[in-house]
Structure 1
Amino acid sequence: VNNLKLIQLGLTFFNEQGNLPTCKTDSTEDSCIWQFNFREFDIEHDRQSPESIQFLRNAGIDFNKFKEEGVDINKFGQLFMLSGVVLNDSVRWVTFDSKYDFGYLIKALTGRNLPETRDEFFQLM
């Protein structure tokens, strides 16, 4: 995780009854999810997994567009920390196939590499 850069982060929020928040678009109101595409990853120079890159390309990811129009991960980390979602005991995190997700998220929120030990990592969690 320390040697790689976060490309995307998807977040979905729901209340205790499982209801998603709604967003009004034009004349309709739909459930909301958020997908953040970060600008820091450089397809030409950054370390990467060829299989992951191909998977993302097949899903329609435009790495050049991310680099030009993507979210600054440091700014995201600052704003997300201030959002009230992080460090909130009433928030429960549900993940799917999240082997590395919390590592990437902690790295984004702190702006630093992950701790050297497992105990230090879990103290941040």
Structure 2
Amino acid sequence: MGSLGASPGRGRDTTTDTVAKKMEAFRRRQRVAIRSVWAWNLDYEMSLIASLIPSFRFISFDTEFPGVVVRRADGKPHYHLSDDERYGLLKANVDYLNIIQLGLTLFDAAGNVPDLGMREDDEINGFAWEFNFRDFDVRRHPYAPSSIELLRSSGVPIERLPFHGIDSRRFADLFFASDIGSTAAEWVAFHGSYDVAYLLKVLTKGRPLPPKLDQFLFAVGTLLGDVVDVKHLMRFCDDLDGGLERVAGALEVPRLAGASHQAGSDSLLTSLVFLKIKEKYFWDDDGEVAGRRGVIFGLQDY
């Protein structure tokens, strides 16, 4: 994938060195593997991620969860709800349901992901992470049937979760012990309202979300900093709309590993889409993106 610099043809000089760096970053991203994390390898993988944070300051993330089961009795469309009403609906669902997967992709300003010492000629030389949680048990916990069927058809190992999955409380302990939070990284999501909410629930060890939207946003800012929501960035890109898959197609960004509705794969695709939007629409101006951080699409500025 290209670097965060300007794209050719946007009125900026493109040196041979810059082109070479972009091509190298893209070539490396073509051989990415998803590291599947379960209870047995959680400690090792979290220590590995912690060691990489100083070199990869961006983290794109995605969650998979059991759908939406709580709906408004009046059937009022989502886009007609106030911010507080939208948050109330999200809170009701996240408090009631449990996370299934969390995907994390670490990357740097040039678009590189960790290679973990692999050689350039190795079959795989880049990695992203997918955490599988035992919080959800399809035999006992509520879910939207269509959502679970979609996850199953996408290859998410639903039946393994209760037996081999991660205790989210242990994940939270390791997260804070390894200082992966807002002081060390910049977090990137795509239409991130539920992703941010489920990650907050994990990090607070299953506590109900804060009662008010402003309290929720304060908690998110404290733990993750000002999240960049790619869906919000798209509001300033006239020719982009739709979900992650559609936007990636419009930008000619490939899915390099895994499948849609797998958290690791979607977090990787989110990083690629973010980098492409940054390059194509915001040039090399970090200030433009910085000014649009902290707005979570689906909750604020809908």
Normalising by structure 2, we get a TM-score of 0.39
1:99 and 1:119 mapped to 2: Cα distance? 14
- TM-fit CA distance, 1:51: 1.6
Point out where structure 2 has 5 or more consecutive residues left out of the alignment.
1-93, 221-302
Runs of 4+ off more than 4 Å: none
Identical-pair percentage: 37
Alpha-carbon displacement from aligned partner over 1:4-33 (angstroms, at most 9, x marks no partner): 1000000001112221111357x9352110
1:1-125, aligned counterparts within 5 Å? 1-24=94-117, 28=122, 30-88=125-183, 90-111=184-205, 112-125=207-220
2:170 and 2:154 mapped to 1: Cα distance? 26
**RMSD of the TM alignment (CA)?**
1.9
- TM-fit CA distance, 1:97: 3.1
Question: Residues 104 and 130 of structure 2 are in contact (CA less than 8 Å); yes or no, is this contact kept in structure 1?
Answer: yes
Alpha-carbon displacement from aligned partner over 1:45-85 (angstroms, at most 9, x marks no partner): 21111121011100122222111111111101111122222
Normalising by structure 1, we get a TM-score of 0.89
- Flag the structure with higher helix content: 2
Task: Give 2:292's aligned residue.
Answer: none
Aligned length: 124
- Between structure 1 and structure 2, the one with the greater Rg is 2
Instruction: Indicate the structure whose relative CO is greater, using CA pairs within 8 Å and at least 6 residues apart.
Output: 2
2:170 and 2:117 mapped to 1: Cα distance? 26
2:155 and 2:217 mapped to 1: Cα distance? 35
